């Protein structure tokens, strides 16, 4: 690697999708960049995020990807305006006698998170302020979850009678076990990183907000050594979680 590959590189990635990318050394950082909309995630944004992550994972210089949010919070969850037209159309067709369009829409979202989970380099989600709904689903598809000490996370859709059917249900169950997951779903309460028996399993590390927002690498020995077969470790870990869930 020459000097050009080690210097900091910043670029705006698919500005219409509100994603910003930055390469520094062996780390590529992606920011959800809609601070005025509390980083609410649109359909196009999620699709663009998958494409960007997969593209960076093919760069031999990149050994880890960090996803974080610009502004005061990580993400307020799904952008309802973005989803409204698609869901409305699906519900209209379902009401006419067929639920296939709605199932296809849910499947499409599930595949976005499956694609992120399958990426063969580590994905770190650095959450601060608030992380809600689809933001938590995104973090669950990553490998390491960091959270600021003042962060609150929740699945507010549960209060509306909507379950996390985009992968959050199964991923939470694999991480926390069925009993703790049922507590989250049945109470629909807000949680912090410090919540005993839940935060300890869900969150890898808790950092001061100012440190998390400036995060360029995970504290400690990071990124992983180049000779470490990370892709095999990820596949083995995922297979083991499926077997014990």
Residue 229 confidence (pLDDT): 60
Percent of the chain's residues with pLDDT above 70: 70
pLDDT of residue 116: 95
Instruction: Summarize the confidence of residues 125-133 as an average pLDDT.
Output: 95
pLDDT at residue 8, as a whole number: 46
Contact 39, 74 (CB under 8 A): yes
| Domain residue spans of the chain | 3-79+108-244
| Top-confidence residue, 91 or 50 | 50
User: Which contacts (CB < 8 Å, 24+ apart) does range 175-178 have?
Assistant: 175/140, 175/201, 175/202, 176/201, 176/202, 177/201
pLDDT at 243: 42
Q: What is the mean pLDDT of residues 10-35?
A: 80
**Mean pLDDT over the full length of the chain:** 80
How does DSSP assign 73-140, residue by residue? -SB--B-HHHHHHHHHHHHHHHHTT--HHHHHHHHHHHHHHHHHHH-SS-EEEEE-SEEETHHHHHHH
Close Cβ partners of 31 (under 8 Å, ≥ 6 residues apart): 19, 20, 21, 22, 67, 68, 69, 70
Q: What is the pLDDT of residues 134-163, one digit of tens each?
A: 999 999 999 999 999 899 999 998 888 887
Q: Inform me whether the pLDDT recorded for 219 exceeds 70.
A: no
What residues are labeled active site? 137, 157
Record the pTM. Answer: 0.82
Looking at domain 3-79+108-244, its CATH class is alpha beta
Q: Does the pLDDT at position 35 exceed 80? A: yes
Q: Per 3-state DSSP, what percentage of the chain is helix, strand, and coil (rounded to 5)?
A: 45, 20, 35
The tens digit of pLDDT for each residue in 186-206 reads: 999 999 888 765 666 678 777
The length of the chain is 245
């Amino acid at each position: 690697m020459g000097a050009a590959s080690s210097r900091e590189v910043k670029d705006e990635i698919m500005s219409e999708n509100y994603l910003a990318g930055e390469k520094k050394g062996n780390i590529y950082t992606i920011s959800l960049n809609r601070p005025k909309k509390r980083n609410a995630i649109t359909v196009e944004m999620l699709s663009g995020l998958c494409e960007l992550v997969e593209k960076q994972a093919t760069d031999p210089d990149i050994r880890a990807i960090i996803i974080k949010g610009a502004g005061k919070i990580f993400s307020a969850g799904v952008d309802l305006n973005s989803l409204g037209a698609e869901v409305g159309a699906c519900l209209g067709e379902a009401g006419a006698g067929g639920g296939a369009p709605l199932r296809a829409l849910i499947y499409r979202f599930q595949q976005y998170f499956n694609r992120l989970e399958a990426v063969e380099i580590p994905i770190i989600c650095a959450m601060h302020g608030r992380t809600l709904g689809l933001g938590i689903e995104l973090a669950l598809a990553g490998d390491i979850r960091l959270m600021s000490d003042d962060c609150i996370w929740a699945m507010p859709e549960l209060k509306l009678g909507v379950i996390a059917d985009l992968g959050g249900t199964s991923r939470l169950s694999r991480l926390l076990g069925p009993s703790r997951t049922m507590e989250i779903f049945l109470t629909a309460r807000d949680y912090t990183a410090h919540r005993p028996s839940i935060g300890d399993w869900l969150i890898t590390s808790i950092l001061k907000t100012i440190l998390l927002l400036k995060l360029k690498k995970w504290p400690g020995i990071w990124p992983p050594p180049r000779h470490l077969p990370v892709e095999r470790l990820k596949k083995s870990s995922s297979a083991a979680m499926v077997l014990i869930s």
